[in-house]
């Protein structure tokens, strides 16, 4: 029989797999919240995770019915889906979906075993154990809240505990038995489990129950076990030691409670299987959910596909004669690009992951640490260094630790205290930039220098800068992947992006995901420097890419919260281009105001009824307001990722819901560049999309809930109040306007090429095979759609009514704060 | 011009503001917040000219006898308002901060569930705050004090669908009420010391005070220590400190204003206000100073090891309040007032910007990281350093300590007497009660040896009733009945103690009876609808489906516990004033059963209506989130 015996390492591995894997706040990166279930089909995974862990994984039936009543879920689409899935039983199922009552109560297997303590023995170990456990682990991992740090944290967690216990008069425990075990290091997880649980077949499930009573802390420990060095003040900890400590505390509690005679726990657990993951029964309710969910998603996708088909005949004027601009694929650039194009008929914009193929670390001037500025899974070998940055960090005495000391606090409250109230008033009545603002413009000094070219040096064990060949490789791959290999404009912009916010613990989640949650300024500037390098140009020419000598690259950064832009190395621009750049700059700035206005419609307390410049000012103001829990809405409402030429979608109003990666099938007949794009984009955009999805449908367990009561724990995470577990996922304020739909990837290429490409990367293929992302291919020749399902492409014909066309969206934007349907943009 | 009549304006504004905000509909965010900041703003901008004029007049002490809520031959319940420099400073700080925070919350709370509840509670707090600082005698003060306790409970339990906020709300409410025992006892003793409901104005008359206190130094000292108990509980001094960080469960602005600044400084206020009463007693002054000093040191140590930001600020604030206790004990009133204002402003702001600490400190470390800064503790011997460290991480076991010495014994006692059930209630306790009533009217047949003890015995029985309610885990209706019965025993006890007018008993029961009836009906409705989810053994969160019943039951709890919304509140005071000055035990038993009755009632409310909803057809939080 399975699970008869307990294999510690196997169980620990399994635990770490299922626990939330969210890094410390400063390294926050979006990922699929239910990554552990990704080997299952999407809907199957959603049912399993719900039945096992008690997650809410779909909207409620009443929500879907409401959406249906509001025509957000189309009747046509619903019928089509039911017909495909249920054939003749369509009416029966439609009745189930629309009318029947279901018991939607969440049931969870997790916790059932350990609940026996409460139900059968009238004790609640968690109540006693958690409080001390959280305090100790919090103090150990603390990155700089406490003034008096835990002693000896250079040692491993378990050794620190032993050190403290041995050398102190005070103890973590009540019983001398537990005390002795720690001091003499005479316990193991197995020995403690045998005392507490008694039967090997239950061990693993017991540990799951125990750790999932505080998934936040356990998940953090599991992550830091492998990334302890990512903390500035690094720590050595393992899930194993953490669990051992918790078991020891639990043992101590039970031992004391029952005067040394811990009852035989296993005797009351005879009916409980040791396998938490044993088979899950079919549920009609979950089938209803899955049908509704498909209908919800396709009601939107179908419109998009209809739009692509409908706009097919419209021709574009964007030949890229005036300038070209590369921006991040980020959905926040979707509308920005639209406005740039609207304001300059001859420009051309491109989308590419915002690290611009610069796989590197960054060493800011004066900084004691370097930081990764490329996608998280990449392990860079290079480092770029900043020099001559004269900016100083603004300070704020309110964060001084002195105010928490006895006499210091006395002095501070008698002096600074009165300044606080003035500052608070200023912050409320006249918000402006201050020391608390996290601004992406501060990531790199605007006038500092970057060391990009390698000259034999190394730094922190990495090669400082790139050689000419390495530079050429990077820019060549970038240009080819977006299809920009000829017809270069006089100026080519590379615009990274970053955000700024104040009083926001999840600040890192707002910057560029492709740059490991940092702003993309260094990358944009670096790729521009590479592109302008004469030797690189020469090499590029050897490889068949001829960039005219007069063409210049300019790096820049789009600040997405305040909608501002900054350009780098402008003084180095040739005089004949200065005027040209100045003109373009005006276009960018104007586009930013229009963009700000479009964004503002979702900010319910910001009035959108004014000219773009006025609204833009309001948007800027809210970004620095202490009392604004939604500085920007980040990726909320994302639903699409379009990999193809801009022409495919430039006549569609996609309402900022699309990631856009430029790609030209013509120069990539065998899908070499497509593979790179999909390999990078699929997990990144899928991760973003699913994190939004799950945080939205279950703000309590999969999301971080409302951020208003959050309390910063050790600079690594947030919890509610003082005694809560760490909260993972996204705060509700980030996701409340998000429609929980999966992402649809739309690729412009021949289906057989795409099929070959996705099958060649197993990790990527899993996303589509198990339908965690939808995939539709637009055949470049026939303009037919092919939907990927169960390993093959099936033709798909949109069934929506023809879409409405509009040329002016101003009135539309002022009209509503909810999602818009897809429109055709008339020139 | 006499300024005295104008001081009632500053009670009236929050009162009106609160009631208006009660009737505004849910979802009218703009209205709700506008009422709140207009209330605080109006208060502030009317107060400023008042203050100037008052100072020009030479800052006289103002006293306004508002009206007598109840009057009989030997007893008056006066609502009395009072204004001096202490009131002035507290009013200034309170209205500035409330004004700023309500504007702040207007945006911060946008779209949050419970927007209305939040502003209602803030205004209720503001009302209680002003009422307390303006109060001119203990009775008036106690009204404000009770309002503060209730609004505090509501704000901490703001996220009622989660377990920890609700548990902590009960915890804080309970500790507040333990402190209230101090106030009740002080009120009782001072009735006898002055033979009236003494006003704070009269306490300014040092000759009078000197004369009385020196004649009854024991009583004087007793009053002082009871006040110190109340002050220590409210200001989170030792051994009560651990409630303050645990109170920070609501939205950050409410934690900032309430627990960072306004509420937590009420202990200091109480000491400042009663300074004339105890300043001649050197032992009291030393005790206050020593308590402040120890609290300051211990809280500082705890604050230094805190790894999360809000508790760190909370403990730092407790330490400063400890120093304020020392300042007050020394007689540095002005310094204490300045210190209060500075600390309130500072901590409010620090809490508000506390989410920024993550990005601020990380960025600071990027440039100035020092692996292990040398701290003062490094100079200690290793063993001592480690011991202090561990103790501080464990918050010096304060949280357990309070449970262990107060709540666990009471709960255990309550469970020990669970043999009292509905059957023997009728077989034994009802006849016993009737016998008591019979004896009351035929006192002549009571043996002389027993008579002096009868009232204590009945008071003890009343306490048993309330403990039984406190320990009840299964049957809500039974627990409710026990709380009600407790009051009947109290009436009996006090009637034995002294010739207590029947009308007094009726006043006492006038609020309690209807409240208990309404509560009972609510319980019946709920029991019928939710028969399988109806006990006191866990949290049920029924407020999710029955919001109206929930409010109704909360109101009846308040009525049953003698909250100042009914005449029963006056009855409580009446009863206390009728306990002989020698009868300390009786006063103590009765105060304790008043207090525990309130805790038991709120606990019932919380278990039935708050906490994670038992029905899980919607997303539910982890217990530990």
**pLDDT, tens digit, 9 for 90 and up, residues A198-231:** 888 999 999 999 999 999 999 999 999 998 788 8
Could you tell me the two tokens for A185? 């290091």
Question: A750: burial class by Cβ within 10 Å (0-12, 13-18, 19+)?
Answer: buried
In this prediction, residues A248-256 reach a mean pLDDT of: 94
pLDDT in tens, B438-491: 887 777 777 777 777 888 888 888 888 888 888 888 889 989 998 998 888 888
Mean pLDDT of chain B: 88
Euclidean distance between CA atoms B385 and B383, whole angstroms? 5
CA separation (Å) from B357 to A59, A502, B100, B305, B318?
35, 10, 21, 16, 21
Q: What is the mean pLDDT of residues A392-416?
A: 83
| Chain A residues inside the 8 Å CB shell of B312 | 145-146, 404
User: How far A371 CA sits from the closest chain B CA (Å)?
Assistant: 10
Summarised one tens digit per residue, pLDDT across range A692-730 is 999 999 999 999 999 999 999 999 999 998 888 999 999
Q: Write the CA distances from B319 to A403, A770, B233, B322, integer angstroms.
A: 11, 57, 14, 5
* CA distance, residue B464 to nearest chain A CA (Å): 24
The answer to whether A398 contacts B625, with C-beta atoms less than 8 Å apart, is no
Count of residues making up chain A? 827
Collect all residues of chain B within an 8 Å Cβ-Cβ radius of residue A424: 100, 345, 348-349, 352
Phi, psi dihedral angles at A462 (to 5 degrees): -110, 155
CB B588 within 8 A of CB A77: no
Q: Taking CB atoms and an 8 Å cutoff, what residues of chain A touch B172?
A: none
Secondary structure class of A3 (helix, strand, coil): coil
pLDDT tens figures, B381-404: 888 899 999 999 999 989 888 888
State pLDDT tens for residues A129-148. 999 999 999 999 999 899 99
Can you tell me the distance from the alpha carbon of B211 to that of B64, in angstroms, rounded to the nearest whole number?
Answer: 25
Residue A516 CB-density burial (10 A; 0-12 exposed, 13-18 middle, 19+ buried): buried
Integer CA distances (angstroms), A725 to A133, A529, B308, B558, in order: 11, 46, 12, 33
CA distance B156 to B152: 6
Nearest CA in chain A to B622: A701
Which stretches of B503-604 are assigned E, i.e. beta strand?
none
Phi, psi at B77, each rounded to 5°: -105, 105
Rounding to the nearest 10 degrees, give the CA dihedral for residues B118, B122, B127, B128: 100
For A170, counting Cβ atoms within 10 Å of its Cβ (0-12 exposed, 13-18 middle, 19+ buried), the class is middle
Q: How many helices (H) and strands (E) does chain B have?
A: 28, 2
Task: Kindly give the pairing relationship between strand A360-363 and strand A382-387.
Answer: parallel
Q: How do residues B291-327 score in pLDDT, each as one tens digit?
A: 999 999 999 999 999 999 999 999 999 999 999 999 9
Work out the minimum CA distance from A106 to partner chain B, whole angstroms: 5
Given a cut of 50, is residue A2 above it in pLDDT?
Answer: no
Average the pLDDT over each of A89-103, A720-734, B487-501 and give the range with the smallest value: B487-501
Confidence check: pLDDT of A315 > 90: no
For residues A239-264, average pLDDT: 93
pLDDT of B330 above 80: yes
Cα of B385 to nearest chain A Cα, Å: 8
What the block records as the tokens of B392 is 């501080």
Interface probe, candidates B356, B377, B385, chain A, greatest A C-beta count within 10 A: B356
CB A410 to CB B323 under 8 A?
Answer: yes
CB atoms within 10 A of CB B401: 15
Chain B residue numbers touching A106 (CB-CB < 8 A): 616-617, 619-620
Distance from CA of B274 to the nearest CA of A (A): 24
Contact list, B311 vs chain A (CB under 8 Å): 711, 722
CB contact under 8 A, B252 and A507: no
Confidence of residue A180 (pLDDT cuts 50, 70, 90): very high
Three-class SS of A7-58: CHHHHHHHHHHHCCCCCCHHHCCCCCCCHHHCCCCHHHHHHHHHHHHCCCCC
With H, G, I as helix, E, B as strand and everything else as coil, classify residue B41.
helix
Q: Which residues of B touch A368 (CB under 8 A)?
A: 365-369
Mean pLDDT, residues B569-587 = 82
Tens digit of each residue's pLDDT (9 = 90 or more) over B78-95: 888 999 999 999 999 999
pLDDT in tens, A413-465: 888 889 989 988 888 888 887 777 888 888 898 889 999 999 999 999 999 99
Per-residue pLDDT, averaged over A752-780, amounts to: 94
What's the mean per-residue pLDDT of chain A? 91
Query: Is pLDDT at A517 greater than 60 in this prediction?
Result: yes
Q: What is the pLDDT of residues A300-311, one digit of tens each?
A: 999 999 999 998
Give me the count of residues in chain B: 625
| Contact list, B383 vs chain A (CB under 8 Å) | 167-169
Q: Is the pLDDT of residue B365 over 60?
A: yes
What pLDDT was estimated at residue A4? 63
Q: How confident is the model at residue A1 (pLDDT cuts 50, 70, 90)?
A: very low
Reply yes or no on whether the pLDDT at A21 is more than 50.
yes
Alpha-carbon distances, residue A804 vs A296, A430, A801, A823, B200 (angstroms): 20, 43, 9, 5, 76
Using DSSP, state whether A748 is helix, strand or coil.
strand
Q: Which residues, 6 or more positions from B280, have their beta carbon under 8 angstroms from its beta carbon?
A: B209, B210, B213, B214
Enter the tokens of residue A14: 């399994």
Tell me how crowded residue A792 is: count the other CB atoms within 10 A of its CB.
Answer: 10
Inter-residue contact A27 to A516 (CB < 8 Å): yes
Across the interface, which of A213, A233, A502 has its CB nearest the CB of B371?
Answer: A233
**Is pLDDT above 90 for A743?**
yes
B72 has pLDDT over 90: no
Q: What is the pLDDT of residue A349?
A: 94
Reported as a pLDDT band with limits 50, 70 and 90, residue A469 is very high
Give per-residue pLDDT as tens, A329-349.
Answer: 999 999 999 999 999 989 999
* Rounded Cα–Cα distance for residues A213 and B625 (Å): 10
Q: Verify whether the Cβ–Cβ distance A428 to B361 is below 8 Å.
A: no
Average pLDDT over residues A566-592: 92
Q: Which helix (H) or strand (E) holds A592?
A: helix A575-600
pLDDT tens per residue, range B181-215: 899 888 888 888 877 778 888 888 778 877 877 77
Give, in order, the Cα–Cα distances in Å from A539 to each of A493, A536, A673, B404. 21, 5, 20, 78
Q: Do B359 and A504 touch (CB under 8 A)?
A: yes
Tell me which chain B residue has its CA closest to the CA of residue A105: B617
The enclosing H or E element of B46 equals helix B29-56
3-state SS, residue A330: coil
Cα–Cα distances in angstroms (integers) from residue B86 to residues A339, A399, B14, B270, B337, in the given order: 60, 30, 19, 10, 7
Task: State the ipTM, two decimals.
Answer: 0.93
Q: What is the pLDDT of residue B360?
A: 86
- Give the residue on B whose Cα is nearest the Cα of A426: B100
- Residue A46 C-alpha, separation from nearest chain B C-alpha, in angstroms: 14
Q: Is the pLDDT of residue B366 over 90?
A: no
Name the β-bridge partners of B77. B70
The overall longest dimension of chain B from CA atoms, in Å, is 87
R_g of chain B, CA atoms, integer Å: 25
Cβ pair A629, A708 in contact under 8 A: yes
What is the spatial distance between Cα B393 and Cα A148, in angstroms, rounded to a whole number? 10
What residues of chain A lie within 8 A of the CB of B342, using their CB? 413-418
**Mutation site for A-interface testing, chosen from B94, B259, B319, B355 by largest number of A Cβ within 10 Å:** B355
Select the residue from B254, B258, B619 to test the A interface by mutation, using most A Cβ atoms within 10 A: B619
**Structure confidence by residue, pLDDT tens digits, B404-442:** 888 888 888 888 887 878 777 778 878 888 888 888 777
A&B contacts, CB < 8 Å: 335
Task: Answer yes or no: do A60 and B617 touch at CB < 8 A.
Answer: yes
A144–B387 CB contact, under 8 Å: no
How many Cα neighbours within 13 Å face the side chain of A146?
29
Chain-chain contact of A605 with B249 (C-beta, under 8 angstroms): no
CB-based contacts of A372: which residues, under 8 Å, 6+ apart?
A: A361, A362, A380, A516, A518
- Alpha carbon distance A309, B15 (integer Å): 64
Contact predicate A397/A375, CB 8 Å:
no
pTM: 0.94
Mutate which: A51, A62, A417, vs B, most B CBs within 10 A? A417
Angle between helices B382-393 and A157-166 (to 10 degrees): 110
pLDDT average, residue stretch A377-387:
92
Distance between terminal CA atoms of chain B? 57
Model pLDDT, residue B500: 64
């Amino acid at each position: 029989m399975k699970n008869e015996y307990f294999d510690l390492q196997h169980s620990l591995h399994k635990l770490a797999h299922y626990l939330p894997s969210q890094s410390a706040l400063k390294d926050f990166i979006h990922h699929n919240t239910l990554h552990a279930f990704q080997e299952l089909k999407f809907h199957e995974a959603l049912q399993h995770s719900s039945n096992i862990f008690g997650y809410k994984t779909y909207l409620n039936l009443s929500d879907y019915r409401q959406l249906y009543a509001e025509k957000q879920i189309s009747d046509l689409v619903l019928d089509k889906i039911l017909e495909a899935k249920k054939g003749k039983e369509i009416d029966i199922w439609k009745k189930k979906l629309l009318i029947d009552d279901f018991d939607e109560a969440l049931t969870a297997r997790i916790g059932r075993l350990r609940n026996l303590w409460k139900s059968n023995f009238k004790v609640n170990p968690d109540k006693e154990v958690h409080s001390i456990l959280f305090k100790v682990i919090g103090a150990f991992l603390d990155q700089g809240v406490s003034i008096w740090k835990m002693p000896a944290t250079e040692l491993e967690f378990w050794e620190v505990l032993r050190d403290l216990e041995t050398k102190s008069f005070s103890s973590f425990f009540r019983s001398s038995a537990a005390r002795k075990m720690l001091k003499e290091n005479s316990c193991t997880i197995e020995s403690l489990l045998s005392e507490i649980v008694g039967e090997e077949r239950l061990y693993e499930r017991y540990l799951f129950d125990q750790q999932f009573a505080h998934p936040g802390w356990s998940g953090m420990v599991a992550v830091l076990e492998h990334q302890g060095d990512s903390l500035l003040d690094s720590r050595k900890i393992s899930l194993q030691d953490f669990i051992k400590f918790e078991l020891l505390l639990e043992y101590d509690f039970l031992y004391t409670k029952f005067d040394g005679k811990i009852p035989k726990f296993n005797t009351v657990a005879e009916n409980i299987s040791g396998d938490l993951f044993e088979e899950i029964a079919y549920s009609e309710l979950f089938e209803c959910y899955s049908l509704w969910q498909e209908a919800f998603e396709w009601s939107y996708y179908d419109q998009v596909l209809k739009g692509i088909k409908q706009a097919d005949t419209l021709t574009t004027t964007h030949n890229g004669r005036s300038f070209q601009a590369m921006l991040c694929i980020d959905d926040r650039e979707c509308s920005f690009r639209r406005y740039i194009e609207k304001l300059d008929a001859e420009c051309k914009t491109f989308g590419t992951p915002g690290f611009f193929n610069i796989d590197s670390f960054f060493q800011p001037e004066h900084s004691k640490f370097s930081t990764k500025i490329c996608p998280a899974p990449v392990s860079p070998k290079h480092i770029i260094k900043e020099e001559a940055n004269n900016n100083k960090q603004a300070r704020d005495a309110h964060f001084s630790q002195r105010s928490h000391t006895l006499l210091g606090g006395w002095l501070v409250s008698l002096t600074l205290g009165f300044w606080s109230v003035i500052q608070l008033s200023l912050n409320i009545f006249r918000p402006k930039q201050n020391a608390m603002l996290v601004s992406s413009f501060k990531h790199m000094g605007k006038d500092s220098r970057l060391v990009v070219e390698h000259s034999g040096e190394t730094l922190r064990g990495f090669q400082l800068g790139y050689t000419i060949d390495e530079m050429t490789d990077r820019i060549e791959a970038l240009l080819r992947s977006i299809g920009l290999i000829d017809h270069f404009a006089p100026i080519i912009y590379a615009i990274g992006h970053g955000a700024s916010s104040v009083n926001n613990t999840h600040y890192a989640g707002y910057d560029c995901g492709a740059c490991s949650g940092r702003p993309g300024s260094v990358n944009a500037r670096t790729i521009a420097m590479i592109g302008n390098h004469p030797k690189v140009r020469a090499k590029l020419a050897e490889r068949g890419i001829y960039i005219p000598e007069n063409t210049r690259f300019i790096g820049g950064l789009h600040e997405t919260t305040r909608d501002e832009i900054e350009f780098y190395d402008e003084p180095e621009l040739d005089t004949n281009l200065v005027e040209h750049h100045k003109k373009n700059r005006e276009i960018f700035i104007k586009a930013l105001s229009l963009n700000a206005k479009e964004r503002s419609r979702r900010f319910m307390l910001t009035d959108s009824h004014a000219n773009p410049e006025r609204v833009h000012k309001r948007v800027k103001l809210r970004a620095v307001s202490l009392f604004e829990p939604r500085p920007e809405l980040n990726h909320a409402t994302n639903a699409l990722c379009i990999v193809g030429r801009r022409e495919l979608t430039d006549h569609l109003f996609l309402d900022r819901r699309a990631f856009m990666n430029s790609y030209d099938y013509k120069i990539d007949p065998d899908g070499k560049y497509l593979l790179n794009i999909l390999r990078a984009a699929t997990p990144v955009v899928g991760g973003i999309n699913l994190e939004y999805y799950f945080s939205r449908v279950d703000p309590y367990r999969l999301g971080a809930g409302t951020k208003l009561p959050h309390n910063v724990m050790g600079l690594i995470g947030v919890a509610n109040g003082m005694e809560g577990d760490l909260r993972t996922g996204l705060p509700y304020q980030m996701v409340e306007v998000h429609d929980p739909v999966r992402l649809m990837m739309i690729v412009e290429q021949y289906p057989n090429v795409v099929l070959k490409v996705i099958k060649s990367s197993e990790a990527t293929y899993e996303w589509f095979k198990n339908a965690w992302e939808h995939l539709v291919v637009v055949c470049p020749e026939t303009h037919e759609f092919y939907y990927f399902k169960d390993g093959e492409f099936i033709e798909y014909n949109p069934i929506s009514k023809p879409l409405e066309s509009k040329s002016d969206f101003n009135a539309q934007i002022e009209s509503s704060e909810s999602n818009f349907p897809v429109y055709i943009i008339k020139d | 011009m006499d300024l005295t009549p104008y001081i009632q304006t500053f009670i009236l504004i929050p009162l009106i503001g609160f009631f208006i905000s009660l009737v505004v509909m849910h979802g009218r965010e703009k209205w709700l917040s506008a009422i709140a900041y207009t209330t605080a703003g109006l208060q502030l901008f009317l107060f400023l000219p008042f203050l100037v004029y008052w100072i020009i007049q030479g800052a006289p002490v103002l006293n306004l006898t508002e009206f007598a809520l109840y009057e009989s031959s030997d007893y008056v319940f006066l609502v009395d308002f009072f204004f001096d420099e202490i009131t002035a400073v507290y009013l200034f700080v309170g209205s500035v901060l409330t004004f700023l925070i309500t504007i702040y919350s207007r945006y911060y709370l946008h779209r949050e569930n419970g927007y209305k509840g939040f502003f209602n509670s803030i205004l209720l707090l503001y009302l209680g705050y002003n009422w307390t600082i303006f109060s001119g005698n203990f009775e008036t003060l106690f009204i404000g004090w009770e309002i503060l306790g209730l609004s505090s409970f509501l704000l901490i339990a703001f996220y009622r669908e989660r377990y920890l906020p609700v548990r902590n709300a009960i915890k804080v409410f309970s500790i507040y009420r333990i402190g209230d025992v101090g106030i009740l006892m002080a009120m009782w003793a001072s009735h006898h010391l002055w033979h009236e409901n003494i006003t704070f104005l009269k306490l300014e008359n040092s000759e009078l005070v000197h004369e009385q206190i020196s004649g009854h130094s024991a009583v004087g000292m007793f009053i002082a220590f009871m006040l110190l108990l109340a002050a220590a509980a409210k200001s989170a001094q030792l051994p009560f400190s651990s409630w303050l960080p645990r109170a920070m469960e609501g939205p950050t602005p409410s934690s900032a204003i309430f627990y960072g600044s306004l509420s937590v400084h009420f202990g200091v206020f109480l000491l400042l206000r009663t300074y004339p009463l105890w300043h001649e007693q050197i032992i009291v002054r030393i005790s206050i100073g020593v308590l402040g000093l120890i609290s300051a040191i211990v809280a500082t140590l705890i604050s230094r090891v805190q790894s999360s930001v809000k508790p760190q600020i909370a403990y730092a604030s407790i330490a400063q309040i400890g120093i304020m206790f020392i300042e007050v004990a020394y007689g540095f009133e002005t310094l204490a007032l300045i210190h209060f204002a500075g600390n309130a402003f500072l901590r409010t702001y620090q809490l508000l910007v506390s989410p920024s600490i993550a990005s601020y400190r990380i960025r600071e470390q990027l440039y100035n990281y020092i692996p292990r800064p040398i701290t003062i503790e490094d100079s200690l011997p290793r063993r001592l350093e480690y011991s202090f460290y561990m103790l501080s991480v464990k918050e010096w076991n304060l949280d357990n300590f309070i449970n262990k010495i107060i709540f666990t014994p009471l709960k255990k006692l309550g469970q020990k007497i669970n043999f009292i059930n509905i059957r023997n209630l009728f077989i034994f306790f009802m006849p016993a009660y009737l016998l008591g009533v019979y004896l009351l009217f035929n006192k002549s047949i009571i043996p002389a040896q027993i008579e002096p003890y009868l009232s204590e015995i009945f008071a003890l029985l009343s306490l048993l009733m309330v403990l039984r309610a406190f320990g009840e885990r299964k049957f809500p209706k039974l627990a409710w009945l026990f709380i009600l019965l407790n009051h009947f025993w109290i009436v009996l006890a006090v009637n034995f103690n002294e010739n207590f007018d029947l009308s007094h008993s009726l006043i006492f029961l006038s609020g309690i009876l209807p409240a208990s009836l309404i509560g009972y009906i609510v319980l019946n409705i709920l029991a019928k609808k939710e028969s399988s989810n109806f006990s006191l053994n866990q949290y049920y969160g029924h407020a999710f489906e029955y919001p109206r019943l929930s409010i109704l039951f909360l109101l009846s709890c308040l009525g049953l516990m003698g909250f100042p919304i009914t005449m029963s509140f006056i009855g409580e005071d009446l009863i206390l004033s009728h306990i002989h000055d020698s009868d300390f035990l009786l006063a103590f038993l009765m105060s304790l059963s008043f207090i525990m009755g309130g805790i038991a009632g709120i606990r019932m409310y919380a278990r039935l209506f708050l906490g994670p909803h038992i029905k899980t057809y919607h997303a539910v939080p982890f217990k530990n989130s």
